[in-house]
Amino acid sequence: FQASPLSKFVSRFKMIENFYPTPLYLSGPNSALSLMQYIDCSNVESWLTERNKEKRKEDLESTFRGFARDYADMIVPMRKLREHVTEREFHLFIQHHSVDEAAVHSEESEEHFSELRGKVFDELQKYYRFDLRLSDFSLRLGNLMTLYYNASEAGHLMREEYRMYTTMFEVLEVDELLSQIFLS
């Protein structure tokens, strides 16, 4: 299975997006998956086709719970950081993600993308020094990079999850757009 550039971008973006709104609006174990996605966890059988709804419902729910635990193992500890991601960090985070994805799928030189990454980190350092007035921001930047790595891993897990749902439960076969995003 080779994920398309759009699939990689969307899945990682959704995980990155999780770290900004969740601590702003929710507490405890609740999570804002994304402004792009809402899942009714109490109605997962609606994802199944009519022909296999009864016999596969328990399997789907069990698979769903397993993936939810895996996401929680990656994401929940990061949300417990003492200081939450600010809006500015979130925007720079998204810029960094966009540069990374473009670098992987572009013919342009590595120097060009290295320069763009440098600009993103320069902006972040200016933000820490001048706006937040931090003299030592190494811990904060380290936490942000850990969040970025975990978002990447969770994005990969999301693609595996959708692949599993499609292969085992045929849940995306009726949605052509989602199939193109997550399965191409």
pLDDT band per the 50, 70, 90 thresholds, residue 126: very high
Query: At a CB cut-off of 8 Å and minimum separation 6, what does 180 contact?
Result: 4, 6
User: Is 85 buried (19+), middle (13-18) or exposed (0-12) by CB count in 10 A?
Assistant: buried
The count of domains in the chain is: 1
3-state class of 175 per DSSP? Answer: coil
Q: What is the pTM of this model?
A: 0.65
Domain range holding 173?
5-183
pLDDT at 1: 39
Range name among 10-14, 30-34, 114-118 with the lowest pLDDT average? 30-34
pLDDT at 4: 59
Tens of pLDDT, residue by residue over 18-72, are 767 777 776 666 666 555 555 555 666 666 666 666 667 777 777 877 887 787 7
How many CA atoms, within 13 angstroms, populate the side-chain half-sphere of residue 12? Answer: 23
